[in-house]
Structure 1
Amino acid sequence: MTPPLRRGPRPLPLHLSLALNRGMAAVATAPYASTSNGLNAGWPLSKPGQVESQRIGAALAGGRHSPEAFRAAVLRRLARQDRGLISGIAAYRRHPWQRQAAEAPVLWQEGGSRLLDYGGDGVPLLVVPSLVNRAHVLDLLPDHSMLRHLAAQGTRVLLLDWGWPGEAERRFTLTDYIAGRLERALTAPAVAALGPAVLVGYCMGGLLVLAEALRRPDRVRALALLATPWDFAAGGADVAARAQGAARMLPMLEPLLQAQGALPVDVLQALFAGLDPWAIARKFRAFGRLDPADRRATLFVALEDWLNDGVPLAAPVARECLGGWYGRNEPGSGRWQVAGAAVRPEALTLPCFLAIPQADRIVPPASALALAGQIPHAHIHMTPAGHIGMAAGSRAEQALWAPLLQWLSRL
């Protein structure tokens, strides 16, 4: 048997446990002819679970179906889904694809961070990703790369790769990253020689470039914010509750932050998994049905490898994000500060492009739209895609790359 080439999805025990818990909940809510001897007799059901069990029982009785036969059908389906999940994970771990992208030249470097030059001619773009993921999601495959596509279509593309946080970076605050490292990259001689740049921020990177554009408008020609959050309470009661739940985890994570100086990758992955607990199982069951040689399989593996190769988040930044952004909603309430100055989107006088994925589970559209409402004369592009699919999915060129280029051509 071929040994596994990779160890994801991370953290694997969590994803297997979520699939198990879903199955146990399905069994627990299944009605029986007699619960005195049924497997669910001792299960404490939530009120929604009780309502669902009663609904199923009434439907079975109305159709004269046997509750025992229904229970057997549920167990058979759960077994098929479990086999599909394990098969999909095994297929992913043994898939032969390996990343072999050519390394872009380095224009500037500080600590673990590098400014990579993807070439091209035309308006300079300085692209800034999130701090918690590898930057190469924007350069996923040689023939499916947002950065290489933009460079080939009349722009000069630079990427700020934050790198792995070393000893110095683990003491960084958001101010250190924005007013320090990002600003020094923006004002480096190699970048300054190109003239004012368009700052392009993806996800968390959008908040970073927004704050930097307000600090140094003399070095910024325009601003493109891709799936960028702002109001962490917008999007309904469920969204607000999840934000508060993330903030409440901070005291429990504090011993880990103090011991390691960073929030580990697997903890970050677990937090993201909580946004859609069943998504991992669904997508791996679907992947297991693909031909490994199919183009879709290669793209899936490339994206999963990127997701599982995350980056720890410096402890001070983790506290600011979980406590300040999610807990106190400092950006949305106008209280977020960088280097002692409030970040005020309404003060922007630059052209601004905001791409907002309609199927985004990481940044709810309402959160990003709240930012668009603060920026004067913002160009809003709503795209029928998800958070990652917008930038790197199979339809990313139509969803984002082409509309962004059209906007850039009008600058």
Structure 2
Amino acid sequence: MGPLKLDAAGVFAEAQKFQKKLTAGMKVLGTLDDVQFGVTPKEEVYREDKLVVYRFRGDRKPTAKTPTLIVYALVNRPYMVDLQEDKSLVRNLLAQGEDIYLIDWGYPDRADRWLTLDDYINGYIRRSVDAVARHAGVKKINVLGICQGGAFSLCFSAIHPQKVKNLITMVTPVDFHTPDNMLSNWTRNMDADLFVDTIGNVPADLMNWCYLTLKPMRLLQQKYVGMVDILDDKVELENFLRMEKWIFDSPDQAGEAFRQFMRDFYQGNKLLKGGLLIGKHEVDLGNVTMPVLNIFAEQDHLVPPDSSRALKSAVGSRDYTQIAFKGGHIGIYVSGRAQREVPPAIHDWLKARA
């Protein structure tokens, strides 16, 4: 192979193109307003401390007889499921006829330092489920748990199976010790007690930094270099900024709940292996006997597919279905493929069990 030859004319043309993009982008940036999210109308049906349960309103009345409550993770804001009009799991489920509620956890502060997983699962989630059931006039509801919220939903369904008609888990970790689980490998030998005793609530910026450094080139460099290509497209730029706003709009984590989640889930793998205590209740996934739909992402770098697949052999349900989605941890909510595939799959599965 001979020496690399630079095409001076080509380099100059690329530089000119780049300069034009930047110039046009500066003009577009000057026209942008603050990006908004959460496009679907909703009403408050329950409030406790910082938690609010909302019911979403679609363009028509729901045809589903059983409401579905979305339980999101604590580490991010739940509006990812209703990010914008053409990227909304909520909006598409409503269009299918489902009756959708959601827990908004709010932003924990120092007053929440001592909240435990028992407070979240047997407290907040239990009372939210009861509130939705009362509001809808039913005895049981469907629960849709997402990521960490899916792990919480599994615990809740194992402890209170009489309250859950159908359980749906999305990108939910079950086996926390799969070899490709980078977060688990990082935290396996972490002194969770010293960590929480020292800093109390876990700062959101620290959590975000950990997630971003799982893919540093892609999440800290490449996406911002690629942003130049859309600087002159107002719609695409707004979409990019809306996602960035969600990524960095993360709540702090209540110290005691974080301590237990680290020790019992990431380090002890007790959700799968057993011995997990939530308050006075031991979690046995064999008690999850209601129908279960498990949806995971094949290119998920936060929750590896094998971590979610482990649910099949752990639950006691005889009605278990799993769906592998071709995409990543975030794409399962917002990609075009997800909008076309995921909501109809959930609706069809629920309808068959109505």
Under TM normalisation by the shorter chain, which class is it?
A: 0.7 to 0.9
For residues 84-99 of structure 1, the aligned pairs below 5 Å read 96=33, 98-99=35-36
RMSD: 2.8
For residues 325-404 of structure 1, the aligned pairs below 5 Å read 325-375=265-315, 376=317, 377-404=319-346
Query: How far apart are the structure 2 equivalents of 1:369 and 1:100?
Result: 32
In the alignment, structure 1 residue 106 sits paired with structure 2 residue 7: no
Kept in 1, the 8 Å contact 2:169–2:295? The answer is yes
Q: TM-score, normalised by structure 2?
A: 0.83
1:221-257 per-position Cα deviation (integer Å, ceiling 9, x unaligned): 10000000011111x2x53x64132244445972xx4
In the alignment, structure 1 residue 164 sits paired with structure 2 residue 107: yes
Kept in 2, the 8 Å contact 1:390–1:399? The answer is no
AA matched with 1:245: W
1:289 pairs, out of 222, 229, 237, with 229
CA pair 195-152 structure 1, distance change in 2 beyond 3 A: farther
In the alignment, structure 1 residue 261 sits paired with structure 2 residue 203: no
2:144 is matched with 200
1:35-87 per-position Cα deviation (integer Å, ceiling 9, x unaligned): xxxxxxxxxxxxxxxxxxxxxxxxxxxx3658xx99xxxxx9xxx9xx99xx7
- The SS at the match of 1:105 is strand
1:148-173 per-position Cα deviation (integer Å, ceiling 9, x unaligned): 22122211110011111134432111
For residues 9-88 of structure 1, the aligned pairs below 5 Å read 63=1, 65=3
For residues 97-246 of structure 1, the aligned pairs below 5 Å read 98-99=35-36, 101=38, 104-119=42-57, 120-121=61-62, 122=64, 123-188=66-131, 190-191=134-135, 193-234=137-178, 236=179, 238-239=180-181, 242-246=183-187
1:267-315 per-position Cα deviation (integer Å, ceiling 9, x unaligned): 0001111321212212222222125436544333222211110111111
Kept in 2, the 8 Å contact 1:262–1:312? The answer is yes
Structure 1 residue 212 displacement after superposition: 1.1
Structure 1 residue 398 displacement after superposition: 2.4
- The SS at the match of 2:85 is coil
For residues 301-340 of structure 1, the aligned pairs below 5 Å read 301-340=241-280
Deviating more after overlay: 104-113 vs 115-124: 115-124
Kept in 2, the 8 Å contact 1:232–1:243? The answer is yes
Q: TM-score, normalised by structure 1?
A: 0.73
1:78-119 per-position Cα deviation (integer Å, ceiling 9, x unaligned): xx9xx99xx7xx989875451054652110000000000103
Kept in 2, the 8 Å contact 1:385–1:399? The answer is no
- The SS at the match of 1:356 is strand
Identical amino acids, percent of aligned pairs: 25
Structure 2: stretches of 5+ with no match in the other structure: none
CA pair 97-247 structure 1, distance change in 2 beyond 3 A: same
Structure 1: stretches of 5+ with no match in the other structure: 1-62, 71-75
Kept in 1, the 8 Å contact 2:88–2:339? The answer is no
CA pair 252-292 structure 1, distance change in 2 beyond 3 A: farther
Aligned length: 328
Kept in 1, the 8 Å contact 2:43–2:55? The answer is yes
1:51 is matched with none
- The SS at the match of 1:331 is helix
CA pair 261-292 structure 1, distance change in 2 beyond 3 A: farther
Query: How far apart are the structure 2 equivalents of 1:387 and 1:291?
Result: 25
- The SS at the match of 1:155 is coil
- The SS at the match of 1:212 is helix
Query: How far apart are the structure 1 equivalents of 2:78 and 2:241?
Result: 16
Kept in 1, the 8 Å contact 2:274–2:284? The answer is yes
CA pair 93-215 structure 1, distance change in 2 beyond 3 A: farther
Structure 1 residue 178 displacement after superposition: 0.2
Query: How far apart are the structure 2 equivalents of 1:251 and 1:214?
Result: 26
Deviating more after overlay: 303-312 vs 189-198: 189-198
CA pair 97-147 structure 1, distance change in 2 beyond 3 A: same
Query: How far apart are the structure 1 equivalents of 2:138 and 2:97?
Result: 14
1:351-378 per-position Cα deviation (integer Å, ceiling 9, x unaligned): 1100010010110001001122322331
Query: How far apart are the structure 1 equivalents of 2:265 and 2:271?
Result: 6
CA pair 194-394 structure 1, distance change in 2 beyond 3 A: same
